[in-house]
Structure 1
Amino acid sequence: MKDGNGKSYNYEEDDEDEKKINVRKEIFSWIKTILLALVLAYCINTFVIVNATVPTGSMENTIMPKDRIIALRLAYDFGKPQRGDIAVFKYPDNESLLYVKRVIGLPGETVEIKDGLVYINGADEPLADEYVKETPYGDFGPYEVPEGHYFMLGDNRNESLDSRFWINKFVEEDKILGKVYLKYFPGFKLLK
């Protein structure tokens, strides 16, 4: 085919070239979308949440083995850990491992366990541990929690490797990565 100036054009070749350009644009668009999703997932996992699988039964019946949980990293940017919080933290005896336990002793407190019951600062009444799986046993402590540190126990006290048994008994505040808010697999459950 010729245009008004006598030049010939092959419209089929133009259509094929345009299709190739559109395919390249589409592929590049998908690559950009996938890269953006990966960067967002990395940022959310690094700065906003801790996504973890619980390997043991130390937190039964609150969290069961193989449960998937989400902890909010930002929770302690706006306040300090409180007694009863479920927290994800770097294990004090090997910081390459993450542990999930309940905050029991706060900075400056004395924690003592008598006949399996937890007493804070020599109180006459033990903590109301309604989340504990079964009647705990044993005597431990007293432990004086240093400033800037926390004493952690599992809800399954008779089967939990926690502050009572660690070489480094206390978790430094800056090693606490986040507060656990929910279990999302199997099933969905808000945690307290």
Structure 2
Amino acid sequence: MNRLKKELLEWGQAIVITIIIFSIYNYFFATTTVYNTSMYPTLVEKDMLFMAKRVDYQPGDIISFKSELTLTARDYESLNFIQKILHHEGERKNLIKRIIAGPGDSIEVADGIVKVNGEIIDEPYISTVTTKSAYYEKIPEGMYFCMGDNRSVSYDSRELGLIPEADFIGKVVFRFMPLSKIGNVD
């Protein structure tokens, strides 16, 4: 009986420690997978990314956030077995975009030019001409203007509007798959 009690206690301790480690990890970190081409060439489909939560977000950061778009039946069918366990049809879709401007900034997107606070910004990471237009005289606290690097196909703040920081999942910091491209994400 004493041996059974000791073994149950050890199992209980292992389970509690696992739950604590898992909870801490989920509080500070997250992972995601790229499912479209809106961040090409910086990120491509099937890239798997490691993200930091609870960070200070800055223009230029690549972030993932919960959008108002929902996961369709077609989206759900494209998920792998594990993803299907974690997600369900109709839930809010996660998008990955780059922060272009933040609280207090002005933003103007017109004629293929992006200006933040009246200055044309240098964007060596974009792969296509910036289409569509947008204008915000002053971005409110807690809100961000985000766009994909592949501007001609990206569904972003030009259509979605400003993104609330409350919907941010995390800042992309590291690509861990595919192994041939493992490393920091700029």
TM normalised by structure 2 equals 0.74
Q: CA deviation at 1:177?
A: 2.9
Aligned length: 163
2:84 matched residue in structure 1: none
Pick aligned residue for 1:53 from 33, 37, 60: 33
User: For 1:96 and 1:137, how far apart are their aligned partners in 2?
Assistant: 26
1:67 matched residue in structure 2: 47
Question: Runs in 1 of length 4+ with deviation above 6 angstroms?
Answer: none
Which amino acid counterpart does residue 57 of structure 1 have in structure 2? T
State the structure with more CA Rg. 1
Pick aligned residue for 2:25 from 44, 60, 66: 44
User: For 2:42 and 2:183, how far apart are their aligned partners in 1?
Assistant: 10
Question: Are residues 34 and 151 of structure 1, via their aligned partners in 2, closer, same or farther at CA, if it must alter by over 3 Å?
Answer: same
Matched-pair contact (CA < 8 Å) for 1:84–1:102: yes
Which amino acid counterpart does residue 183 of structure 1 have in structure 2? R
Matched-pair contact (CA < 8 Å) for 2:102–2:144: yes
Q: CA deviation at 1:38?
A: 3.8
Q: CA deviation at 1:34?
A: 4.4
Deviations 1:85-129 (A, max 9, x none): 111222256683322110002223232223323112333xx2111
Q: CA deviation at 1:136?
A: 1.2
1:25-44 alignment, distance < 5 Å: 25-26=6-7, 29-30=10-11, 32-44=13-25
1:69-84 alignment, distance < 5 Å: 69-76=49-56, 81-84=57-60
1:101 matches 2:97:
yes
Q: CA RMSD in A?
A: 2.5
Question: Are residues 34 and 66 of structure 1, via their aligned partners in 2, closer, same or farther at CA, if it must alter by over 3 Å?
Answer: farther
2:159 matched residue in structure 1: 165
User: For 1:71 and 1:49, how far apart are their aligned partners in 2?
Assistant: 6
Q: Which range moves more in the overlay, 87-96 or 146-155?
A: 87-96
1:136 matches 2:129:
yes
Look up the SS of the partner of 1:75 in the other structure: coil
1:86 matched residue in structure 2: 62
Percentage identity across paired residues of the two chains: 30
TM normalised by structure 1 equals 0.72
Structure 2's unaligned 5+ residue stretches are 71-90
Structure 1's unaligned 5+ residue stretches are 1-16
1:111 matches 2:107:
yes
1:120 matched residue in structure 2: 116
User: For 2:69 and 2:111, how far apart are their aligned partners in 1?
Assistant: 26
Matched-pair contact (CA < 8 Å) for 1:70–1:180: yes
Question: Are residues 128 and 57 of structure 1, via their aligned partners in 2, closer, same or farther at CA, if it must alter by over 3 Å?
Answer: same
Matched-pair contact (CA < 8 Å) for 2:131–2:151: no
Matched-pair contact (CA < 8 Å) for 2:106–2:118: yes
Which amino acid counterpart does residue 181 of structure 1 have in structure 2? V
